[in-house]
């Protein structure tokens, strides 16, 4: 298991997320407000633009392959590196 730093640009909030957990689940545990609804990768409510870093999100059915390179669905995304995200609220 590897831990990565996830920074939310705009709010300045930063959390540590293991590569075995989703970004959204860690946000909820840490008390960081994030938009979400379905939690199954379909509704796009939890989407965030990836400004820096990489994620894996094979179950993010709401995104095309091209979109998945630029956006993370935090309910499905697990970090592969340190990240800078800009929530699409």
Reported as a single tens digit per residue, the pLDDT across 38-48 is: 989 899 999 99
When divided into structural domains, the chain yields a total of: 1
**What CATH code is carried by the domain that includes residue 51?**
3.10.20.30
- Please state the pTM of the whole predicted model: 0.92
Spatial CA neighbour of 6 closest among 73, 88, 83: 83
What is the domain range of residue 47? 3-87
Structure confidence at residue 60 (pLDDT): 87
Asked if 60 and 48 count as a contact pair (C-beta separation under 8 A), the reply is no
What are the pLDDT digits (tens) for 48-65?
999 999 999 998 889 999
């Amino acid at each position: 298991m590897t831990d990565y730093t996830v920074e939310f640009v705009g709010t300045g909030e930063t959390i540590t997320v293991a590569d075995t957990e989703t970004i959204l689940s860690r946000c909820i545990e840490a008390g960081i407000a994030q938009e979400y609804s379905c939690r199954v990768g379909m509704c796009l409510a939890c989407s965030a633009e990836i400004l820096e870093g990489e994620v894996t999100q094979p179950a993010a059915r709401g995104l095309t392959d091209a979109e998945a390179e630029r956006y993370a669905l935090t309910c499905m995304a697990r970090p592969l590196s340190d990240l800078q995200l800009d929530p699409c609220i």
